[in-house]
Structure 1
């Protein structure tokens, strides 16, 4: 039977205690380093701003329609006609004010030194043109609302919309995934008849 000397036992216990202490210290340090190096969720980045819950937000998005993403009152709408009818007028007012804000004339610059060359003024849209565009957007939104009712009554399973684009000052007819700038270009005769009927009903109501 082997008998260990007291010095050997003390040395073994000391080495065991030191090893246990080092193991605990290394484990604690590893957990702290992993927590510090873990990526922060994108939503909690200091530089990122949360999307507003009210108003209009337009962002660049390569995967979105026309390369942008439109958010209205905190919700993303892929197409303009996806907006609820009750907020379309409010959205159009916001768009009209945005056009006014963008086209406001620049303030008159102070008299420049003789050697400096004056910068040509950016052409601005007249107030009458902007008012005409805003009215046209409202009118065709009302016609489109009548058209949606006619489509539902006719039980026509087609996505048909009428829109006025203020940037181009032009009426566009959307039929499913196609866009037409003239009513005669629409190949489906039934769709053309329903659009004409929607226009006639709007004219009678005004």
Structure 2
């Protein structure tokens, strides 16, 4: 049995290191607060994976094979984003994505890291800048094994197995997609 580590000590050390990097004093590290910014389920990658389930094909014996059973997931990728306030006008953005999978595709879990800062050009205005980067979260489609009788057995793209494309050529049409890797957001707000 493994011994548990004290994660609070690790967080405190990380917070102290982060404060040194951004130039804040260690007393600020103890006053940092973390807030939930956003929570949502689904993404354009989830939508794309679900769209792969549209359609199907007919077998030689006349029975219908629906793609939906291969591309249906009971869990949709959930994203939770937080901000840890470093100073009055800056913060560390971070978040996680759970990922999702079905029989013929997988969206990997993801980690989002970034920074937010703001300034006040006048008493009633705010100029803010945020930069975030996402690691992981790739969508990858899995192949099928198809038996073509006398022609042999091939690893194929499930959706194209019954088409006119040569079995070995269908693999180049497997979906491999990445989420938005880098986001830069600039906002100017004036209140009246």
Which category describes the TM-score, using the shorter chain as reference length?
A: under 0.3
TM-score, structure 1 length as denominator? Answer: 0.20
Identify, as 1 or 2, the structure richer in helix: 1
Q: Which has the higher contact order (CA 8 A, sep 6+)?
A: 2
TM-score, structure 2 length as denominator? Answer: 0.21
| CA radius of gyration, larger in | 1
